[in-house]
Structure 1
Amino acid sequence: MIEFWLSAGLLLLAALSFLLIPILRGRRQQQEEDRTALNVALYQERIAELAAQQAAGVLDDGQMAKGRDEAARELLADTEGAESARQARLGKAVPLLAALLVPLVALGLYLHFGAAGKVELTQEFAAAPKSLEEMTTRLERAVEAQPDSAEGLYFLGRAYMAEQRPADAARTYERAVALAGRQPELLGQWAQALYFAANKQWSAQVQALTDEALKADPNEVTSLGLRGIAAFEGERYQEAIDYWKRLLAQLPEGDASRAALQGGIDRAGERLGSSAAQPAPASATRLKVRVELAAALKDKVSPQDTVFIFARASNGPPMPLAAKRVTVAQLPLEVELSDADAMMPQMKLSDFAEVQLVARVSRAGQPTRGEWVGKGAPLASSTQATQHLTIDSPDL
C-alpha cells in the first residue's frame, strides 16, 4: 500500500501544478506589464523634452522628427518581448482554494468509490500464505470484496473443506451454484460438503444433487467418489467398486490419489468376497412395484420430468427408505426396491415391518416435492406380490 500512496501523491502533485502554475505565471505577467508602463512613461517624457528643446530653438523640425522616431524605436524594442495583457483575472484566491479542495475531494471520492481494499488484497495474494488459516482468511476477504465471484466462492469452499468445516463449505457452494448455475462440478462439491456436514449421513438432498450432477456429467469425479463412499458404508460393496472404478478411469497416471482409491476398491472386493461366501438371508426385503401414469395427466407432464419411486415407513420418519429415479418417458415401468436402494445406511427397508409405496412426478427433480403423486396403502415390507401404483393426484 505504501507504493500505491506514493504513486497517488505524485499524481496529485502533478495535478496541483496545473492549478499553481497560472498563479506563478500571473506574477511574471504583472512584472511585464509594469515594465511596459514604465517604458511608455519614459517615452512620453522623452517626447516632452524634445518638444521643449524645439520651442527653445535648440532643435529644428528635422531634428525633432529624428528624435521622435528614435524614441519610438526604443519603446518598440523594449516592449517587443512583453506578453499581451490579460483579458480577465481570477485572482489568487480561487486557484489557491481549488488547490486545497482538489486533493481533499479526490481523496474522499476514492475512499468512498475506490478499491483500496482490493489493491491491498492483491498485494497480499502476491506473497505465499504461511498457513491454511491465512489462505482461508484471504479468500474470505476476497469473497467479501467480490461477493458475485463464483470462482472465489468455489475456492473458499475448498479451503473450508480442507479445514474440516463442511457446514461452512456447503453454504458457500450453495451460493456459488446460485451465481454460476447448476454445474456438475459445483453440485458434486455441494453434495460432498452436505454429506460430511451431516456426519456422513446420506440424505435425499445429497442423493438428488449427485443424481443431477451425474446425469449432466456421468464422469463427475466428486459425485462418483461420494457415491462410492456411501455405498461402501452401506455395505453395498459391488456398487462401491463400480463407482470407484469409474472414478479411477478419470484420474491421470501418476495422480497421488490413485493408490488410495485402488486400496478402497481392493478392500471392497475383499468384503464382497467374504459376504458372497455366506448364504443370503432368506428374509431379504424386496418390493416389486409397477408404476403407471393416469391417462388424464399425459398432456400435463413432459417426458423429461423426473419420477421418484420410493418406499417410506408407515409409522416413522418421512424420509424414503429406498428409492429409484426414472423419467415420465419410461412409464409404465416395473421396478424393485430393496436395501441396496437405501437412502441412508442406518435406515434400511428391512428395518421396518410396514411401509408405504409412493411415486411422485417432479419437474424440478426434487424427491420431496412435485406436481403429481400416486400413493399405495400401507403394506408389510415382506410382501412378495407385485404392487401397482397410478400417478393420478395433485401433490399437495
Structure 2
Amino acid sequence: MTMFWIAVAVMAVLAAFLVGWPWLGKRFNSTVDVQGLNVALTRQRLDEMRREVSEGLIEAKDLATAEQELKLALAVEQQGQHLSGSASGSQWVLIIGLVLAVIVSAVSYWKANEIQSLQDWQTANSQLAELGRRVVVEADPSVTVEELQRFALALRTKLNAEPNAPEGWLLLGRLYASLSRLDSAIEAYEKSLSLEPERGGTLLSLSQALVMVGSDESLQRAKQILTKLQLREPDNQSSLGLLAITASQLGDKPLAIKSWKALGAMLPADDPMQVSIQQRIDELSEGAGTRLLVQVSISDALQGQLPEQGYLIVFARSSDGSMKMPAAVIRQPLASLPVEIELSDTNAMLPNYNLSSLTQAQVVARISLDANVETAPGELQGEIQLNVENGTLMRAEILIDKELN
C-alpha cells in the first residue's frame, strides 16, 4: 500500500514538471524587456526620420504619415505583449487543473479497486488465527458480527488457496448461516459434500439452511436429505426433529407425526421436550392449538405494483425482537387479494418455538418475488402487533401499505 502512494506522488510530480516545463523555459529565456526595447527602437527611428527631413532626404508631409504608422505598429506590438502576459496567467489554471486531475484519478482508483475492501481483507487475514481460536475453540459469546464477517472473509481466502478441505468448507458454511447469508452457506456446504459426500454433520447443516430458506423446492430437498440420513443414522435425534419440522412445513402430516413420535420415544420420559413434542402431535392429529386467521389486503396506492408472479409470505414472530426467526410461517404463490391465511403451531420451524409460545407477536404479510423470508428492496409489506391468546382461534387484518427500501 505504501508503494502505491509513493508511485502516485512520483507520477504527480513528473506530470506537473512535464506540463509546466514550457512556461518555466519561457520564463528563464525572457531576460530582455521586450516592451521597453520596442519603444526605444521606435523613438530612434523617429529621430532618424526627423534628421532625414532636415537633410532633405524625405519631404515633411511624409513625416506625419510615417510617425502615425510607427506609433500604430508600436501599439499593436504592445497589445500583443499584453495578451502574452495575460496568457501566462492561465498557467495557474492549468496547474490547478492538473492537481484536480491527480486527485480525481486517485479517488477513482480507490473506488474502482476497492482499496478499503483490500485493507479489510488484509486485516482479516492477519486475524485469522485469533478469530479461529475465539469462534471455534472458545465459542466466545463476545464475538461481534463484524468479527464473524472478517473471520469468514479470511477463511474464504484460505480455502481459495487450499480448496481440498471439507472441514473448512463446513465451518465457512456455518459462519455464513450465522450471518443469515443462506445462499452462500448452502454453496459452502455443497463444496464440503463434494469432497466428503457422506459426512452426517454437513448433511444436517445443509438441511437446516434449506429449511431456513423455506421455499417448496428447498424444503423438498431438505426432506430428501433428512430421509436418507435417517435411514443411515436412525438414532440421530437432530435429523429426526428437523425432518418432523420439514414435513410439517410441507403439510406431510403422516411423516411429521411419525417423526415426532419416533423422537419422543428416544427421549427420557421426564425430558422437557416431551411436552412440546406431544403438543405437536396433538396439533397435527386434531388441528387444535393456537390459531390465527389473517385477512390480507393491499392499499390502492400499491395495487399497481403487484408482480405478475410472486409469493405471499405471512409469518408471526416475537414482537420484542428476541427471535428473528418466525414462530409460524406460510408461503404460497401470490393470488388475488384480499385473501385469508391461517397460521397455527403446525407452521412452526422449531419444536419449542411456535405461535403458542408467544405472548405478543409481530405479524407480517409480505409480497416477494421469491419464497425467501429475508427482506429485499422493492418488496411490499404490511404488519401488525398482536396479543396472543394461547389455545384460541384469533382473527386479524393486515393492510400491505409500504414498499421496502
Q: TM-score, normalised by structure 2?
A: 0.39
Larger radius of gyration: 1
